[in-house]
Amino acid sequence: MQNRRKAILFVSLHATLLAALMALAATMGFLSVSVSDVLQIVTGKVFRLPFVDIDPVAISVVADVRLPRIAGAVLVGGILGVSGAVFQAILLNPLADSYTLGISTGAAFGASLVIVMQLFGLVLPPAISIPLFAFLGGIGTLILVLYLASGDRRLSSTSLILAGVIVSAILSAAIGFLKFLADEQVGIIIFWLMGSLSGISWQNVLLLMPAACIGSILAFFFSRDLNIMATGERAASALGVNTVRLRLILLAGCTFMTALAVSVAGIIGFVGLIVPHLLRHLAGPDNRLLIPLSFFAGGILLLIADTITRAVLPAEVPIGVLTALLGGPFFCILFKRRQQDGKSGF
Amino acid sequence: MAKAAFDTQAPLWSLKGVSFSYGHETVLQEIDLQLFPGKSYGILGPNGSGKTTLLDLLSGISQPSSGSIHFIDKSLHKWSHRDLARTLALVPQDFMVRFGFTVQETVEMGLHPHLHRFGSPSEQDCRLIEQTLEDTGIAHLAQRSITQLSGGEKQRVAVARALTQQTKVLLMDEATSNLDIHHSLEILHLVRQRFLAGNIHLVSVMHDLNLAAFFCDEIIFLKQGKVVHMGPTEEVMTAEIVEQVYQVEAQVQHNPFTECRQVSFRLPQKNEAV
């Protein structure tokens, strides 16, 4: 009972903070817009009310440029946070994240392939083809990893991680070769790989929204099973958890939404690793609380990072670089402090 | 209450021609076995003889490579995961918990097969957990993180969780191997009391022959993936059988102090053999 109250408190606190940050982020940028104007623009657009006393430029900047990017940042961050939490729980490894099984490398390979093909004169509409190939690359990688790991009928975490490492290594080499082929145009690939939220449109948001909802609800649905998985595969089986089926369903669900996020925003590292870690430190390891919190905290972290690069810094720094630069040192401090408390692991 | 649910004459498990192999390596060969309710079974044998594999097969965690396993009223693989978890609990040998769940949270997981997906424990469930923590002597650790416990304390958490599962059948895989003699006896005594009251049926993998003699009514000796001897403890816990299974020299006596059989053993004396 006490736990449930704590959970509601934690979740509503994070959700409120996220909503406040979204409103705040919409005011920031080259053109400064007040919070009340932002709220009026949002309610006006949603309920089709007339606007009073607002600069029409501000309306289009907020509604067509800033809001889709903010919504995109929150959704991508949320997806990475939730899938990080799920991958850590499924792989029984606190160092895992959404990219451990090579999904990001697969997506990067797909995107680089299209970029290189375009350099060689193949005409494909880049706005659709890059995300599409990235998505297919991510899904294809999971299928390959599952195929490699399936020799072990229990689909154990060691087999999965090992298969993921092998496939990633091969794909990284392939990406290296594509970069070599791209020659002087290699910058396009590198820029894509570092991730960016600058190009996000409402269409992208409409694509991400249902994926994030379905994936997160699926993860929440199986959260108690994930808790039991933490006590080992045999013990989980004996408690009635179908470990193989659980792994397959959640891997498929999380890969689907992660691949979609990567295809829209590129590879944004560190969110999927650090968010579940921090939350476990704050709120305990119970996945029933950890999974919803990971969504909100992932959204908050990526929104802050994206707002810094968009509105605070003089020039846009690739978001993947910024999350690692912000998150890394923070993570080091936390890690050191845990060691001093005599808790080496998480 | 539970015993009436079973026909005491019919076997709980019956295994016919069960073999199990990992790849090309055969772990269990052509096992035919019937385990009846109302008896405490011990599975004994040297390292690598297939004890844990047999327990995995009995608990439905692994499927046999060939042969069939019947459990209570139907083939074991036809049981749903949930129904099986309501009937049968396992205390695993390697109780490794990855994330810092508290002892209370870990024991509460035993309710999993009984709870609705988003349900929370009832008043009655909470009392059961409290009582089980008390019985297994870990009530004082309830709010501690499980990653900080010693091996023996973790094993008691595993036993507490299995008891919280409220099953009719309890399987234990060397559940007392990390415990000191006091705690071993305490846990075995606790489980044995419930067994004697007719609440649970027991199958345990044991390493310690003397604890097995105290705890088990029937012993199954495994060697190299085969059942070499099986029968009531008084009949099979003999010097000849222990010598044959473990390749040691053994003496078996009735110890009037413990009122059990007691085995003493030493390595074969090579000089004498020549």
Which pLDDT tens digit goes with each residue over A38-68? 888 888 888 888 877 778 888 888 888 899 9
Cβ-based contacts of A89 with chain B (< 8 Å) = 99
A237 touches chain B (CB under 8 A): yes
The pLDDT of residue A93 is: 85
Domain that holds residue B63: 3-273
| DSSP code of residue A223 | H
User: Could you state, in order of their start, the residue ranges of all structural domains in chain A?
Assistant: 2-340
**Residue A186: enclosing H or E segment and its boundaries?**
helix A186-194
Q: Which DSSP state fits B148?
A: G
Q: Looking at residue B2, what is its pLDDT?
A: 42
Substitution target in A4, A93, A231 with the highest count of B β-carbons within 10 Å is A231
Here the tokens at position A209 are: 């929204």
Question: Rounded to an integer, what distance in angstroms lies between the CA atom of residue A240 and that of residue A233?
Answer: 11
B90 interfacial to chain A (CB closer than 8 Å): yes
CA atoms within 13 A on the CB side of A289: 21
pLDDT tens track of chain B, all 274 residues?
A: 344 455 567 889 999 999 999 878 899 999 999 999 888 999 999 998 999 999 999 999 889 999 999 999 899 999 999 999 999 999 988 788 888 899 999 999 999 999 988 888 889 999 999 999 999 999 999 999 998 898 888 989 999 999 999 999 999 998 888 888 888 888 888 898 888 888 789 999 998 898 898 889 999 999 999 999 999 998 999 999 999 999 888 888 888 888 888 888 888 876 655 4
DSSP 8-state code for residue B33: E
Distance CA A217, CA A271 (A): 19
Please tell me the total count of domains within chain B: 1
Least Cα separation, residue B217 to chain A (angstroms): 24
What SS3 string covers B36-100? CCCCEEEEECCCCCCHHHHHHHHCCCCCCCEEEEEECCEEHHHCCHHHHHHHEEEECCCCCCCCC
**Does residue A3 surpass a pLDDT of 80?**
no
Q: Using CB atoms, which residue from B61, B97, B115 is nearest to A238? A: B61
Question: What is the reported pLDDT for A1?
Answer: 43
> Of A300, A281, A254, which is closest to residue A100 (Cα–Cα)?
A254
Q: In 3-state terms, chain A is what percent helix, strand and coil (to 5)? A: 80, 0, 20
Mean pLDDT of A19-41: 88
Nearest to B112 among A93, A228, A286 (CB): A228
What CATH number should be reported for the domain holding residue B167? Answer: 3.40.50.300
Q: Does residue A318 surpass a pLDDT of 60?
A: yes
In the predicted structure, residue A346 carries a pLDDT above the cut 60 = no
pLDDT at B81: 92
pLDDT over 90 (residue A137): yes
* Residue given tokens 């919504």 in the structure block: A71
Q: Which fold has domain A2-340?
A: ABC transporter involved in vitamin B12 uptake, BtuC (1.10.3470)
Residue of A nearest to B91 (CA): A235
Contacts of A249 in chain B (CB under 8 A): none
Instruction: Check CB contact of B211 with chain A, cutoff 8 Å.
Output: no
Nearest CA distance, B109 vs chain A (angstrom)? 7
**Which of B24, B93, B99, B146 to substitute to test the interface with A, most A CBs within 10 Å?**
B99
Cβ–Cβ contact A198 with B under 8 A: no
Q: Would the CB atoms of B85 and A240 count as touching at under 8 Å?
A: yes
Handedness of CA B78, B82, B86, B92 (dihedral sign): positive
CB contact (8 A) between residue A231 and residue B96: yes
- CA A176 – CA A150 distance, rounded (Å): 28
Query: What does the pLDDT read at residue B33?
Result: 92
The minimal CB distance from B94 to the residues A227, A232, A242 is found for A232
Please tell me whether the interface predicted TM-score (ipTM) of this complex is above 0.95.
Answer: no
Sheet of B66-71, strand order = B25-35, B13-22, B66-71, B74-75
